Amino acid sequence: MRDPKVWRTEILAGLVVGLALIPEAISFSVIAGVDPAIGLFASFTMAVTISVVGGRRAMISAATGAVALVIAPMNREHGFGYLVATVILAGVLQIVLGTLGVAKLMRFVPRAVMVGFVNALAILIFLAQLPELTDVPWPVYPLFAAGLALLVFFPKVTAVIPAPLVAIVVLTAVTVAAGIAVPTVGDKGELPSALPLPGLPDVPFTLDTLTTIAPYALAMALVGLMESLMTAQLVDEITDTRSSKTRESVGQGIANIVTGFFGGMGGCAMIGQTMINVKVSGARTRLSTFLAGTFLMVLCVVFGPVVSDIPMAALVAVMVMVCFATFDWHSIAPKTLRRMPAGEITVMVLTVVCVVATENLAVGVVVGSVTAMVVFAKRVAHLAEVTSVIDPDGTTAVYRVTGELFFASANDLVGRFDYAGDPERIVIDLSATHVWDASSVAALDAVETKYAQRGKTVEITGLNEPSARLHRRLSGELTAGN
């Protein structure tokens, strides 16, 4: 951090992200049914807190649409005090889940789901910009086009100043100087004029309150962690660095608790603003995250009138460029699709469809991951093969099993033996397989039982040590009457 270039990059990135956070936070406040200041306060406290306690440097956390959708019914049905209490409890649950190692579940999210997640987010960010380009005064369109042109061509001139900042400043200056009447940030809602103050939620501290907020808090905790961990994984890949997912999980919880006590609506990692920070602006440290939250509040409180004049066309242009930078275009290239297994294409497409259709990242990731597991299980199940050889003397049949034995492949194992035609002694060689679960042990028991009913003996050989332990523990214990 001694390099002046790093400081300049981090400071300018924080300023750009701070500007981009303002309309987003206001929009998410509307979704949650709260005053715009609540979303802005949440973005400020989330960003500043997570910059210190988070596990992924340069990632932006703030008020998000995913969290707003989860807690909106709580505010609508029970009031703002219960919403704040829900945010605090969600933070506590995130700390507990993080401590218990929920981040380790990320290893079960396949690459196809990650690609689908990223592409779906890019589509959602783009779709969220369309209302700002529909039924608006005609000057919005040339301003939008000019913003895109600046974002594309200005980096070719110099990379010292982030193109998004240039686009925002230039378009704001043009609209103000020329008196062009277009939608501005100020049209989204009134900006706060003072810093938030800490306090306790205005709810009765009873068991009834806890049972009321607990389901919403758990849903918020899970959605927030999933979106944050997926975003952290994406930033890891972009920056070619590793981050602590456990620390990030706990950090999200701490940030939500702090946000709740300051009267914010809670939040989690933001993919769009993170991409502006990391991919567009080139930020790599916690300073940019801290400054994004700080600049957000300074801009609102000190420079509110100036920020209110920023045309939405400028911010929409920035977000559209973020969409194009975020989308994995290589994943849909004909050359890639021809080489990729059909199952992985299905998983990627299904993840995208579910996320876009429900606007819920958690739904898409869960559906995609489950589908990927089913595809994998089906593929591996077909790898389990059984071959048989009869000894020259005709007294022993040797069956060799290759592949993995688990619930999917073990189901048809029983039908692969010639119970009536085999000789008196049967050897089942499992040296080329692994027994993974109780279903496989039960299938082997069933084979032995069928041979025993015909007065024939079975010897199982070649089990590796883990498989042998599982077989010894469960064999003969899985059927009724044992």
What one-character-per-residue DSSP string does 404-416 give?
Answer: EESHHHHTTTGGG
**Cα angle: 293, vertex 299, 301; to 5 degrees:** 100
Residue 479: the pLDDT is: 60
CB 397 within 8 A of CB 422: yes
- Tell me what pLDDT residue 381 has: 62
pLDDT score for 380: 66
Kindly give the parts of the chain with pLDDT less than 70: 1-2, 380-383, 477-482
Q: What pLDDT is stored for residue 482 in this prediction? A: 47
Report how far residue 466's alpha carbon sits from residue 322's, in angstroms, rounded to the nearest whole number.
Answer: 49
pLDDT at 59: 96
Give the side-chain half-sphere CA count within 13 A for 198.
6
Checking DSSP bridges between strand 396-405 and strand 385-390, what pairing results, if any?
Answer: antiparallel
Question: What pLDDT score does 333 carry?
Answer: 87
